[in-house]
Structure 1
Amino acid sequence: MFDVETLCDLLFELSNDERLAILYLIQEGPKKLSNMSKTLDITPQAVSRNLTRLVEIGLIRRNEASDYELTPYGASSLTQLESFSFLSENKEYMSTHWTDRLPSEFQARLGDLKKCEIVDDSLDMLSNMERVFEEAEEWYKYITPFRIASHSSLRFAIDQLDRGVTIRALEPMGYTVSEKTLARTPREDLKAMLDHWLKGNIEYRYLEEISIKIYMSEKEVSILSFPKIDGEVDMMGFISSDSRFHRWCSDVFDHYWGYSITKTTSWLQEALE
C-alpha cells in the first residue's frame, strides 16, 4: 500500500496557487527571491514563507549561487501535474469520455496532450481531417472503430496517394465498404486504390476491438477521440500540431499497429471480382 500521508502532504503544498506559481516560475530556471516577488507580484514575505515550505517538503533547494531551483523530486512532480492540468482544463469532455481502456503507460502520459484544442462540431472536425490529409507530404495514418467511406473520400485518398503520401490504416476486423458506396465508386478508382495497395503505398491492418480514434499526418493530429460512457467513439475530440501531442498519438498508433492483424487479401480485390 502506498504512503497516503506523504501523498496528501505533497498534494496539499501543490494546491496553493502562490506556491504553484512559484514552482512553475522556477521550472523555467533558477530564481532569486526578489526576482520571484517582482515577477509574480507577491510580497517578499509571502514568497519567503512559501519558499520555506517548498524547501521543507523537498520540491526545491538553494544552489551554490543562493538561487532557488527545482529538485529532481520537484521536477518530476510538476511533470505529473501536467496530466491533472489536461484533465481539469477539459473537465466537461473528460466527464463523459473514458481513457481507462488505454494501456497504463499512455494514461500516465496524458500530460503530453495539454497543448490542444477541442472541437465539438462534426463538420468542423471532418473539414480539419481533410485539410490535414491534403497538407500531408509524407504519410497519413489512422486508427478508428468506424470509417466514413464514400466514393468522394476514396477519390480524395487516391489523389493523396498519387502525389506520394503513404497511408497506414487500423480498422476493426470485418470492416467492409458498403454496397451503396461501391456502386457509386467508378471502377477505375477501385482499380487505382488496389494498385496502390499492391505497391504497398497503402496498408490496412485490423484489430478485434478499437476504442480510440486518431487521424494524423507527419505534421499534426487532425482528431483524437476517446470512447464515451456507452463505449461509442464520436466525432468530438482534440486537434493539435504540438510535438508532444503528436508523439503521444503516434506512439499509441504504433502500439496497436504492433499486434494488429494483416490480411493477405483486400476488400478492393473482392469488390473488383
Structure 2
Amino acid sequence: MVEDFQKIASYFLDLASEQRLQIMSNLSVKPSGVTQLATKLDVTAQEIHRNLSRLSKSNLVQKGLEEKYEITTQGKIMLSQIPLIKFLSRNQEFFENHNLQPIPSKFTKRLGVLGSTTHIRGVTKVLEKWGSIYKNAENYVYDIISESPPGLIQPLIERIKDGTEYKHIISNNLLEPENREKTLQKSGYYKLIQDGHIQRRITKTIHTIVLLNEKEAGVIFPSVTNEPDLKHMFYSTNPAFHEWCVDYFDFIWKKSKVLRRTSS
C-alpha cells in the first residue's frame, strides 16, 4: 500500500506543473516537436526539453516519428481526469456545504463531466431553469424529485399532451404545494397516467434532484443535511453531462417501485 501511494504521489508531482499539463494537452491534439511546443507555449526550448524528459520517464509522453513527441495511452488517461480536478477546484466553496456521499461511487467517479456545466445560483433562477427544461422538451422529460414547486406542472402537462414522454420518480415524503392534487386533477394529469402517457415510480428517499429532456439536463445536489438544495443547480447541454444524468436516472428508476395509485 505504501509503495502504491509513493507511485501515485510521483504521478501527482509530474503533473504539478502548468507547463507540463499544457504540453500534454497540446500533444493530445497532435504530435509536436520541441521547437513547435516552445513557440506555442512561448517558453524556451530548454524548458520544453526538460519537462518532456520528465514526462517521458513517467510514460506520459513518448518520442515518435520525425523527432516529434506524442501523448501515450497512460498520458491520455491521466489527462482525462483533469476535468474532475478542475470542477472541484472551481467549486470549493460549494462542496464545503454540500454532501455527495449518498451518490453511488460509480457516478462520483464520473463527476468530471460537470466541468461543462453552468452553476446556477438562487432559488428563483433554479426554478426558472427547472421550468425551461420542462418547456423545451420535445421527445421526453425524465425527473427525480423530492418536492414539487408550484407553477411548474402546467407547462409540463402541455408538453405531455403534445406527445412528450414523461418518466417521473418521487420520494415517499414528497413536498407538495397546497391543493396540488386538485391542480393535477384539473390539468388532466391522472387521465394521462391512465392512458399510459406518464410513468411513475417511487423511492424511499431522494437526495439528488435530476431533471432532463432529450437535449439538456440539470442536477441539484444535497446540502450537508442530505436534503436537495434548491439554491444551486448545475446545468448543461453537454452530451457527456447529459449521459451522466440519463445513467443516474436509469439507476434510480430500476431501484424504485412502480407507483400505481391514481393520486400522488
Q: TM-score, normalised by structure 2?
A: 0.93
Between the aligned partners of 2:79 and 2:184, the Cα distance in structure 1 is 55
Between the aligned partners of 1:114 and 1:168, the Cα distance in structure 2 is 27
Could you tell me which amino acid in structure 2 is paired with residue 173 of structure 1? N
User: Cα gap change, 1:110/1:177 in structure 2, threshold over 3 Å: closer, same or farther?
Assistant: closer
Partner of 1:198: 194
SS at match of 1:197: helix
Could you tell me which amino acid in structure 2 is paired with residue 44 of structure 1? A
| Pick aligned residue for 1:219 from 192, 212, 215 | 215
Matches within 5 A, 1:106-145: 106-145=107-146
Partner of 1:271: none
Partner of 1:243: 239
Partner of 1:37: 38
| Pick aligned residue for 2:204 from 197, 202, 208 | 208
Partner of 2:148: 147
4+ residue segments displaced more than 4 Å: 176-179
Partner of 1:161: 160
Matches within 5 A, 1:1-273: 1=1, 3-148=4-149, 150=150, 152-175=151-174, 177=176, 179-183=178-182, 185=183, 187-189=185-187, 192-221=188-217, 223-235=218-230, 236-267=232-263
TM-superposed CA distance for 1:134, in Å, is: 1.1
User: Cα gap change, 1:204/1:239 in structure 2, threshold over 3 Å: closer, same or farther?
Assistant: same
TM-superposed CA distance for 1:96, in Å, is: 1.4
TM-superposed CA distance for 1:163, in Å, is: 1.1
Could you tell me which amino acid in structure 1 is paired with residue 202 of structure 2? Y
Between the aligned partners of 1:29 and 1:107, the Cα distance in structure 2 is 30
Between the aligned partners of 1:176 and 1:237, the Cα distance in structure 2 is 18
How many residue pairs get aligned? The number is: 262
Deviation digits for residues 151-184 of structure 1 (CA, Å, limit 9, x no counterpart)? x43322221111111111111025375553335x
Between the aligned partners of 2:123 and 2:10, the Cα distance in structure 1 is 44
Could you tell me which amino acid in structure 2 is paired with residue 239 of structure 1? Y
Could you tell me which amino acid in structure 1 is paired with residue 222 of structure 2? P
Q: How well do the aligned residues superpose, as a CA RMSD in angstroms?
A: 1.7
- Unpaired runs of 5+ residues, structure 2, are none
SS at match of 2:179: helix
Could you tell me which amino acid in structure 2 is paired with residue 124 of structure 1? K
Between the aligned partners of 2:5 and 2:210, the Cα distance in structure 1 is 36
Deviation digits for residues 54-81 of structure 1 (CA, Å, limit 9, x no counterpart)? 0011100011232111111111111122
